[in-house]
Structure 1
Amino acid sequence: MKVSAPLRLSAEAIRGKERHFPLFLITALLPIGVFPFAKLDGTVLERLALPLAVTLLVLESLRAMPEWVARIGPFKVNGIYRWLGIISAMVVWWPLLVGHRPLFLAHVLVVAIRALFYSLTAVRIIQVLANCDRVGVRTLCLGAAGYVHLGLTAGLLATVLQMVDPDSFNLGATVLHEELMARLSYFAFVTLGSLGYGDVVPASPIGESFAVLVSISSTLYLSLLIGLLLSRFISSQQREEV
């Protein structure tokens, strides 16, 4: 199958999306902020919190990211990306509408689809940063949003691992009504920050390998982000001096 994946984005296309980057960062932080209050068996606001946060993030992701021009055979990557986003936004409302979560396999698939959408968004953020020709506050917001997406993706993937193999992680003491996804998203961000509190730890070889990959991804992303931003800043300074 032929894959066409040009990485070059025009500066004009990126500038046309820059105004969305600050709001994009805010919506990326929303799911983290609502995790402590999201309860399937709680009040209306508690049940609405996570579906609304995820839906807003998906919609802003689709609006803020430049369109993909790559193709996989006859399929446009941008079309696949949009459909993944639409499905992610729709299925998150399932527990609220029917009063219970999907069946096990369907639940695993739903979480995996959202993880794929978040990971593609993170990849697109890196491509945009690699092709931007200037550094400003909006660009920094996009870089921060990419870091948040790494954590969200890692949390979802850890959730899939724990659902498939309940011995992947030792979750420690959980608070009342705390969701598995919230607990493992906490673990993911702690691992990204190399904090290692020790309350949630890998408990199997797969879990340990996953933690190593998350840690490596964080280091590589931050190194890449700093390198890209510094190079763009130096280039812009040189152009101003000339």
Structure 2
Amino acid sequence: MEIMSPQNTRVKEWAGLQEKKHRDKANKYIIEGIHLVQEALLAEADVACLAYDLDKGMPAELKTLLQSVQGMEVIGVSAAVIAKCSSTGTPQPVFAIVRKEQQGLEAILGKPDSWVMVLDGVQDPGNVGTIIRSADAAGADGVILGKGCADLYNPKTIRSTMGSMFHLPVVEGDLSDILPHARERGALLVSTSLTGVDSCYTHDFHGSQWLLIGSEGQGISPQTAAFVDKSIIIPMAGRAESLNAAMAATILLFEGMRQRDIHRK
């Protein structure tokens, strides 16, 4: 199948997925570029259709993968269609429309010694995506995005995950509902604070631990802070007042990985 006109009804629907209201209504989102499409296919995400630039042809990296994918529509499109659906100034030669899937909170809660990153009001999509990528790299069991966080399916969030959103569960939900369940299952809820007594390098990261990171401006909300069992500090030798959320989360994740001796699976 081929679609050449940017005015085509389906093209307008695809382009609309750059906006949250249309993603929520359609229960779908758009991913752009060879690497993200490749990661989605490898992870067996629910890809509805794949569109590629007819002039450039199907990218070689995707050709072999497509042989094993069932029930996905593949559509050749014009450069004008690609440009209309792209969120960047330099459009990629391929994009895909993916159906949202319910990520498994129960799978995270059910893990013994669960190792989870929790975000509370982290509004910058680049930070949210980077933290998901760091959590993936550090062997975490999942990421929870509380209310007030950037939308997981925002194109900038997706790009910043570099495909890690397909490697581990990422759950969007209400922390006041989720955190009590984590505590019931034995998780220690740990946040960072400039008034923390323990440093992240003396804190013991073994056992079930959920790490809470808040926004750069406000930190975690008072409602979320009420659930915290322990606050720790990231020591700094220089004169910077604080780290951004993604940097702070990454330091905690990798110190935890070192202590927990998580090896590449």
What is the TM-score with the length of structure 2 in the denominator? 0.22
More helix per residue: 1
Q: TM-score, normalised by structure 1?
A: 0.23
